[in-house]
Structure 1
Amino acid sequence: MGDFAESTQPEGVRPMPVPMGTGEVVLFGGTFDPPTRAHIEVGVRARDTVAGPGGGAWLVFVPAARSPFKGASAASEADRVAMLELATQEVERAGVWTDEIDRTKAFACAKGSGAGGCTAGGPSYWVETVQRARGVLGESVRLWFVIGADQAGAFHKWRAAREIVACARPIVVLREPVGSIEELERMMRASGFWTETELTAWRGAVVDIPMQAGSATQVREALKASESAEVLEDLLDPRVLGYIREHGLYRG
């Protein structure tokens, strides 16, 4: 595979799992609580839509330390990372980058707030992640990030929204409750944040990717309801399902 891309970073922060010389990288951030078949399929399709199936682009999943827009995760950071690594085990040109988790944990340790072995981190912000990725990869690499249309509609609320899109290009995936380009544009225009030029760019960033059923919330509910293995394996990689059962996750 070759050497991984590296940069100066705090001790304990994992390097990006992308071979040196890679020309295109697609970041896909989220809590992945748990990582579903839909997560993996959307990531792969997004990567292949912008770069082509044999284009050599890498897909990098970035598990969030704690989303500033969500509450605490149902599973621990370690469990979410382990499940994501299992889910991506056989995905070509894909890896897991724990930079957000590692950095917030390192910061907690440095500040003396990480009691019990510095296991607790704070919220993670996407602008820091894409800037870190750009610093690791250099200016010559084309950098993208996957985002759902519902999140794109509220993107003006994200920290340093314009800095993010200056650093990496969005790949917008339509999903309910924002199921059309017109609805997305209406939401973004109503925010009063974006210029006409920016709105045109966002419109051009939308890709047509059929969404597989099964959000993480739906999967957690199915697990709590003790759905059959057949139902759950439609939603989860069998290795992820095995991990969940072995560790007693999402029981209620």
Structure 2
Amino acid sequence: MRSNDRTAPAQRVGLFGGAFDPPHRAHRLLVESALDALQLDRLHILPTGRAWHKARSLSPAEHRLAMCELVFGDLARVCVDRRENDRPGDSYTIDTLDELAREYPGAELFLIIGEDQLAAFKTWKRWPEVLGLAQLVVAGRAGFPPAATPVYGDTRDDSPVPHLRLPVPLSPISSTTIRSMVSCGAEPQELAALVPEAVAGYISTHSLYQQPS
């Protein structure tokens, strides 16, 4: 028997973007937590294309996309989405949200960002429209004090930028640290606590991060 479309629950679709240069174990933990806490039907991992806000140049897109596949490819309901690298010009979240809102008509969209991104959120292109299209969900990040906001599921929110909190443990792991370790000669086995073995091997095979960044 076919379901009645008028009573079927709306899809819940998440977006998690970033440089992923490289993706690491804290990224994986965040994604697993988001799938569970937000009860997502689909989560798009979106490696940044041309990043307007980054002072340094990112590694080539194909490397970052390949490493994301190694980190997230085995997770059900997750897809590594290359659209921001295929789109010409600078990457803006509002453009991706516009596209996904058309691809998932009627869906609830959840935009997952880190504490550092929340601090700069009002510098984003058309940020009020971002809030109109998606619920902002913030994951804590070591070194950034959290705003006084509730965990996901509590509707109270007195912060200037409305958002929900994702209950995920803080982690000191950062892509910057990993790149620095590799540029200083760290072997793949030394990165085991920071990135999956397959990513450590990929970094070594393709001689990534040999120069300080």
* Fold shared per TM-score above 0.5: yes
Note if 1:28 corresponds to 2:24: no
Structure 2 match to 1:160: 126
Shift, 1:27, TM fit: 0.5
Work out which of the residue numbers 71, 80, 87 in structure 1 matches 2:64: 80
Partners of 1:30 and 1:240 in 2: CA distance: 17
Aligned to 1:211: 170
Aligned counterparts, 1:115-194, within 5 A:
122-138=89-105, 140-182=106-148
Code of the residue aligned with 2:141 in structure 1: it is R
Conservation of the 8 A alpha-carbon contact between 1:170 and 1:205: yes
Residue in 1 that maps onto 2:6: none
Which of 185, 194, 199 matches 2:159?
199
Measure, in 2, the Cα distance between the counterparts of 1:40 and 1:246.
Answer: 22
In the alignment, structure 2 segments of 5+ residues that lack a partner are 1-8, 150-156
Number of residue-to-residue matches in the alignment:
198
Match of residue 31 from structure 2: 43
Shift in alpha-carbon separation, 1:241–1:82, aligned structure 2, 3 A: same
Counterpart in 2 of 1:95? 79
1-structure distance, mates of 2:132, 2:173: 32
Question: In angstroms, what is the RMSD of aligned CA positions?
Answer: 2.4
1:101: how far off? 0.7
Deviations 1:80-109 (A, max 9, x none): 1111111112222211111111112xxxxx
The alpha-carbon deviation at position 250 of structure 1 amounts to 0.6
Pairwise mapping of residues 52-71 of structure 1 onto structure 2 (< 5 A)? Answer: 57-71=41-55
TM-score (norm 1): 0.72
Structure 1 CA distance for aligned equivalents of residues 65 and 31 of structure 2: 16
Contact 2:13 2:110 survives alignment (8 Å): yes
Deviations 1:175-233 (A, max 9, x none): 24322223x8xxxxxxxxxxxx873772x512221023311101101111222433301
**What's the offset of the Cα at 1:169?**
0.8
Per-residue deviation, 1:162:
0.7
Structure 1 residue ranges without an equivalent (≥5)? 1-20, 105-121, 185-196
Whether the 8 Å CA contact 2:21–2:64 is kept in 1: the answer is yes
Instruction: Render the CA deviation track for 1:142-174: whole Å, top value 9, x for unaligned.
Output: 110111122112211110001001111111112
| Equivalent AA in structure 2 for residue 165 of structure 1 | L
Aligned-pair CA distance for 1:72: 4.1
For the pair 1:222 / 2:181, whether they are aligned, the reply is: yes
Tell me which amino acid in the other structure corresponds to 1:127.
Answer: I
- 8 Å Cα contact 1:224/1:250 also seen in 2: yes
1:25-50 Cα shifts (integer Å, max 9, x gaps): 11100110111111121122123112
State which drifts further: 83-92 or 25-34.
Answer: 83-92
